[in-house]
Amino acid sequence: MLRTVIYIRKSSDESTDKQIQSLERQWKDLSEFVERYNATVSAEKQLNFDPEKDIIREEFSAKGPWRPKFNTMIEKIQKKKYDILLCHELSRLSRNPIDNWTLVYILDELCILWIQTPTSIFSNTPNDKFTLSLFLNVAKFENDQRGKNTSSGMQTSKSKWGTTNKANMGYRN
């Protein structure tokens, strides 16, 4: 069995956070994925985790480095406590260059076999590490661009005496 750590994160810890279902949705999707995955592989290739210790739930933005639970998880990975890092999507892992580098580094140093999402696996091959780095940097770019566009849109709305407090589709107002 492959020792697996599962990382789920929502963007902030604000009590008024509009992503109220985010952690539960990620966990539901990942638990269903693990069940399907484990049903199709031999016992030694199954993803194995302790729900009490190996599911990391973080309510902290990934725009900057030094997230407490993320860093603790990385320390355990560097000590080779885990074989696999599983997350819902790569943007949940990082949206900043320091953590992006760290994730490629743990693969490069063979601290972990691979990083996995329900749709992709990234291992210690040049192509996988390049693709992982590229996807993580795209998440950073999208986050930065969204911030710029939101600020610009709010300024435009304010200048037209409009409101700036309507939530995006899928979020609670």
Write out pLDDT tens, residues 75-121. Answer: 999 999 999 999 999 989 998 999 999 999 999 999 999 999 999 99
- For residue 105, the one-letter residue type is Y
Counting beta carbons within 10 angstroms of the beta carbon of residue 37, is it exposed (0 to 12), middle (13 to 18) or buried (19 or more)? middle
Distance CA 169, CA 173 (A): 9
Q: pTM (2 decimals)?
A: 0.80
Nearest to 139 by CA among 105, 86, 88: 88
Residue 64 C-beta-side C-alpha neighbours within 13 Å: 4
At 21-58, the pLDDT tens digits run 689 999 999 999 999 999 999 999 999 999 999 999 99
